[in-house]
Amino acid sequence: MITLYQFPALFGVRNPSTFCLKVETYLHMIDVPFQIETVLDPRKAPVGKLPYIQDESEDKVRVIHDSNLIIAYLHERYNISLDAWLSPEAHAQGQLLSRALENHYYWAIVYSRFAGENWPLVRQELSGLFSHVVRYVVPTLMQVQAKAALKAHGLGRHTPRDIYDMANADMASVAMVLGNKDYLFGDKPSSHDATLYAMIHNVLRSRFDSPLKNLVEESSMLTNYERRIRERYFEPHDDHSR
């Protein structure tokens, strides 16, 4: 049995970490049995980051971290690949889209929560996760770390308008590729759909408004895409375990 270790649901979304939700989505898509264990403190993870999985099959325990390494392991271990049907051109395009989303768009989501106008609401929700002793300290430390990471990445050095404009340009490009197809590259999902779904869900289903959410809400292609994957792969298993 595979156990997926990830953050608890928060902010109105299944998982506030796009990387955790990416792995959960992929596991649903390949239809491999798994269970979920929530972890509040990522420092308890093997490399201090979430998600990670523990696979206890064949009397041997394997621990795999990093969303991309997890997907590669699942492919090798279970001989299942969502990308085998993709043409070389589609696979290359998917790689580029996934990298843009994870290395650029993701940071705009971080900005909208920890450095933008939603921070007071985010802090309130985060405070509810912790005991009275640390509930006011931990969220502040998280904000300091997020702002430092945003600055180190480079996106956090721009104005709010530029940050959102650049991120929305990313998503608008993805929407052009998606078009009216069920999934990014046709009528079947790929691993890149797991990446995209995690991003769109975190923006669209969040309790917090932002320019990122405004753009997604205005696109029927993107809202239908999120609904399609949610209804097919999540709603039948809303006990969050397989």
Please state, in angstroms and rounded to a whole number, the distance separating the CA atoms of residues 212 and 214. 5
pLDDT at position 237 is: 80
Per-residue pLDDT of the chain (242 residues; tens, 9 = 90+): 999 999 999 999 999 999 999 999 999 999 999 999 999 999 989 899 999 999 997 778 999 999 999 999 999 999 999 999 999 999 999 999 999 999 999 999 999 999 999 999 999 999 999 988 899 899 999 999 999 999 999 999 999 999 999 999 999 999 999 999 999 999 999 999 999 999 999 999 999 999 999 999 999 999 999 999 999 999 888 754 44
Where along the chain do the CATH 3.40.30.10 domains lie?
2-83
Please tell me what DSSP assigns to residue 82.
T
| CATH class for the domain made up of 88-232 | mainly alpha
Superfamily for the 2-83 domain: Glutaredoxin (3.40.30.10)
CB atoms within 10 A of CB 236: 9
- Read off the pTM: 0.95
Q: Give span(s): CATH 1.20.1050.10, the chain.
A: 88-232
- pLDDT at position 239 is 58
Distance CA 29, CA 191 (A): 9
Q: What is the CA radius of gyration of the chain?
A: 18
Return the pLDDT at 213: 99
Which residue reads 């399609």 in tokens? 228
Burial 31-40 (b: 16+ CB within 10 A, else e): ebebebeebe
Q: What is the DSSP letter of 187?
A: S
Identity of residue 212 = L
Strand runs labelled E in the chain: 2-6, 34-38, 52-55, 62-65
- Residue 240: the pLDDT is 46
